[in-house]
């Protein structure tokens, strides 16, 4: 699903965020990406999202070298990836329902179909009863769950998350991770960047450990 082939990413002249990074994530796998802040977790995810292109090497997602995508194809590529952000990137001027519906709106899904899928996604994260609320009325954990609902509403083949439990207490964090496991169980490839080692070692999934932009450990691969 995701293949990094000797990928290097350099910002500005000197600073190397990633170097000689090679790994392969199979379809349907669930992978944690860990390391200290600044180790390159976010840079790696940005490469997969095609927010940036690698300075060296290739990033191949679903068989495509994504650096070769034409600018006009990038939006369509991104639609196949669900992304959960640490700050969840919700829009505060609209309801939970409309936040979750955003990816479908962008894709132009018919309203009826769209409403059905939004409710299914909200139900999955246990927030169906809050669909008419606006994000500011929700707790941090609930906001993050809305972010997850938005990421999965168009049934992406690949789900990325950047520190999804960054601001949550341990119990909420565990709940969130359990949600990701649910999505993984039905075939979604999941990649989660997190520095919450205590939590993710307990979950026993494959773990890619980054340090200074290099892959220092690849543990627990099945």
Partner 1 sequence: MNTPRKPGATSRSRAATPRRGAQAKAAANAPPPRAAGSAAAGPGASSRFRAWGRHHRAMALDSSRRLVRHPVGSLLTMLAIAIALVLPAALWLTLSGARLLDAEVDDGATLTVYLEPRVAAEEAGRVEQAVTADTAVQQTRLISAEQGMADFQQSLGLDDALDGLEDNPLPASIVVTPKDASPEAMEALAARLGEVSGVDEVRLDLAWVERLRHLAELGRRITLALGMLFSLGVLLVVGNTIRLAVESRRREIEVVTLIGATHAFVRRPFLYSGAWYGLGGGVLALGLLTLGGHWLALPVQALAASYGATFTLPALGVAGSTILLSCSTILGWLGAWVAVSRHLASIGPR
Where does this chain bind partner 1 (CB under 8 A)?
A: 27-28, 49, 51, 72, 75-80, 83, 89, 91, 93-94, 97-98, 101-103, 105-112, 115, 117, 119-120, 123-124, 128-129, 131, 150, 154-157, 182-183, 185-189
Q: How far is the CB of 142 from partner 1 (least distance, A)?
A: 16
For partner 1, the closer of residues 58 and 155 by Cβ is 155
Q: How far is the CB of 58 from partner 1 (least distance, A)?
A: 21
Tokens read off for 119? 């409710």
For partner 1, the closer of residues 19 and 189 by Cβ is 189
For partner 1, the closer of residues 18 and 149 by Cβ is 149
Residue 55 near residue 214 (C-beta atoms within 8 A): no
For partner 1, the closer of residues 62 and 174 by Cβ is 62
Query: For residues 41-74, b (16+ Cβ closer than 10 Å) or e, as one string?
Result: bbbbbbbbbbeeebeebbbbbeeeebeebeeeee
Q: How far is the CB of 114 from partner 1 (least distance, A)?
A: 8
Q: How far is the CB of 192 from partner 1 (least distance, A)?
A: 16
Q: Which long-range contacts (CB under 8 A, 24 or more apart) does 178-184 make?
A: 179/124, 179/125, 179/145, 179/148, 180/30, 180/148, 181/30, 182/124, 183/152, 183/159, 184/28, 184/29, 184/30, 184/159
């Amino acid at each position: 699903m995701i293949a990094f082939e000797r990928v290097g990413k350099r910002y500005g002249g000197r600073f190397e965020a990633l170097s000689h990074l090679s790994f392969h994530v199979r379809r349907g796998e669930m992978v944690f990406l860990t390391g200290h802040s600044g180790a390159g977790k976010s840079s790696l995810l940005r490469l997969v999202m095609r927010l940036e292109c690698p300075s060296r090497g290739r990033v191949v997602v679903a068989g495509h070298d994504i650096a070769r995508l034409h600018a006009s194809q990038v939006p369509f590529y991104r639609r196949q990836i669900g992304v959960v952000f640490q700050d969840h990137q919700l829009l505060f001027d609209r309801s939970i329902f409309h936040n979750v519906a955003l990816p479908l709106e962008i894709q132009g899904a018919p309203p009826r179909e769209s409403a059905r899928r939004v409710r299914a996604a909200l139900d999955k994260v246990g927030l169906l009863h809050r669909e008419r609320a606006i994000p500011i009325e929700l707790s941090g954990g609930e906001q993050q769950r809305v972010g997850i609902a938005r990421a999965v509403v168009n049934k992406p083949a690949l789900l990325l998350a950047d520190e999804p439990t960054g601001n949550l207490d341990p119990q909420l964090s565990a709940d969130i991770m359990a949600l990701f496991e649910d999505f993984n169980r039905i075939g979604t490839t999941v990649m989660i960047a997190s520095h919450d080692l205590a939590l993710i070692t307990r979950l026993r999934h494959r773990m890619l450990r980054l340090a200074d932009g290099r892959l220092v450990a690849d543990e627990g691969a099945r």
